[in-house]
Structure 1
Amino acid sequence: MSSSRPAGRATALVLSVLREAISTGELGPGEQIRQQIWADRTGVSRPPLREALEILANEGLLVHGLNQGYFVAKFNRDEMEQLYTMRLLLEREALKEINWPSEEQLAEFENIADGVEQHARSGRPDIAMQELAEFYLGIYELSPKKLIVEEVKRLWVLTAAYRSLSVDVTRDPARSGKRLRVIVDIMRARDLKRLRELLLRPTLRGRSGAVVGQDVSPGSSDELAAS
């Protein structure tokens, strides 16, 4: 298949589409990436597709098996505990201080919260989950500790496939939106202690094994968890 897209743009498109498919659960842990299917779906040729796959493998989101192809990374309970332990340490450090958002920025967070609820109500959990991650990572990006934040974002990518298995935003869309708006109000009040508590709770839940364990069903937490 030939492509009229510039190579760099084609690779970026594939990266975006595959990351979205993994983060929303369309591609689950351990699932193989069928290259021809994704080349057809994105309308790109094989070279930029392979380049994107190599990038995702280098990031740890995919694994490559010799003569087998590429698969979504799959972690066991111990490995997930390690990932969430690293996240917890880094997220705690990132949240030691933040640059409090302006009213304009707070309005943007409120719009994202509204979007999470609306897309959950309309049967689009894929978009709602993307917006949920955008909401949380947007708060971490308020931290002045930019190198730590970049590592937090990398670890969020690694746990993306499991987050889609443990969080059900469609279960109670109104509650999901309400909780996010509570977080916005906490930022408006500049209550760093409470903000840290709410943001770190999902990571603590993930470290406890709720993400890969069999003892907790999807969406069973009493609060919206963006783990």
Structure 2
Amino acid sequence: MATFARPASRTTAKVLDAVRGAILSGELSPGEQLRQQVWAERCGVSRPPVREALEILSNEGLLIHGLNQGYFVAKFSTEEIEQLYTLRDLLENEAIRTIRWPGPEVLAELSAHVDRIESDALLGRPDLAREAMADFYLSIYRLCDRALIIAEIERLWARTAAYRARNYDILAAPQESKVQFRLILAAVAAQDRERLAELLQRPVTDILARARAAMAPAGG
């Protein structure tokens, strides 16, 4: 599972899951404000659990808290997106380079992640499918035992969660997505580091290319 802080109370956990799901599904867009009363009513809870949940998500990097302004879904400029995905590219490549290849038990766990992605996509739940996708990718990176690098990768994945909903529509071509995840799993099973790097880094490379194109001076 992706590494997220877990609150002490069930009511806070309920709000946390609801808000995170709204971000991962694309219902909440980068820069959009979250009003505490609205989410209290939506989740059927009082405002204190909402505040706790929003603070947790702020610490994860999914939200930004403005003094006397409230909480907003994290929003980045094109240049900042380029920097975030450049960092991801560098760190994820390093993790792939130092992965320790898994045995049958871990391969079965990775296969279960893929099954979950496919099942959630078929149910029309992009939020759950994207969460399962993050679990799958991060589980592969965690095969590298360099704890500081993995912790930073997890942090960057949290910070860019809202942009996954914009850049990758997991329901648009479910069959293509299914093939992609199975190819990644096959590369891990075959211990093919070069192929694995190509498959895992393709989405990052595409987003970086778009960000750099958007920053390029007109006409040159």
TM-score (norm 1): 0.82
Give the match for residue 169 of structure 1: 170
Give distance in 2, aligned partners of 1:22 and 1:57: 13
- The alignment of Structure 1 onto Structure 2 pairs a total of residues equal to 208
> Relative to 1, partners in 2 of residues 1:118 and 1:11: Cα closer, same or farther, differing over 3 Å?
closer
Give the match for residue 24 of structure 1: 25
Structure richer in helix, relative to its length: 2
CA shift for structure 1 position 72 = 0.5
Amino acid at match of 2:36: Q
Give the match for residue 101 of structure 2: 100
Give the match for residue 33 of structure 1: 34
Confirm whether residue 127 of structure 1 aligns to residue 128 of structure 2: yes
Contact 1:129 1:169 in 2 (8 A): yes
Contact 2:82 2:211 in 1 (8 A): no
Give the match for residue 42 of structure 1: 43
Amino acid at match of 1:67: N
Give distance in 2, aligned partners of 1:67 and 1:145: 39
Query: How far does the alpha carbon of each residue in 1:52-108 deviate from its partner, in whole angstroms, 9 at most, with x for none?
Result: 222322333212233332111111100100111111121122222112222222222
Give the match for residue 209 of structure 1: 210
Amino acid at match of 2:40: A
CA shift for structure 1 position 50 = 1.3
Give distance in 1, aligned partners of 2:124 and 2:64: 31
Give the match for residue 64 of structure 1: 65
> Relative to 1, partners in 2 of residues 1:211 and 1:56: Cα closer, same or farther, differing over 3 Å?
farther
Query: How far does the alpha carbon of each residue in 1:201-227 deviate from its partner, in whole angstroms, 9 at most, with x for none?
Result: 2222222235996xxxxxxxxxxxxxx
Give the match for residue 192 of structure 1: 193
Give distance in 2, aligned partners of 1:32 and 1:129: 22
RMSD over aligned Cα atoms: 2.3
Corresponding residue SS for 2:33: coil
Unmatched tracts of structure 2, length 5 or more: 1-6, 215-220
Contact 1:30 1:71 in 2 (8 A): yes
Contact 1:23 1:163 in 2 (8 A): yes
Corresponding residue SS for 1:71: strand
Query: How far does the alpha carbon of each residue in 1:169-222 deviate from its partner, in whole angstroms, 9 at most, with x for none?
Result: 222212211111111111111111211221122222222235996xxxxxxxxx
Unmatched tracts of structure 1, length 5 or more: 1-5, 214-227
Confirm whether residue 111 of structure 1 aligns to residue 99 of structure 2: no
Contact 2:78 2:211 in 1 (8 A): no
> Relative to 1, partners in 2 of residues 1:174 and 1:211: Cα closer, same or farther, differing over 3 Å?
farther
Give the match for residue 56 of structure 2: 55
Give the match for residue 151 of structure 2: 150
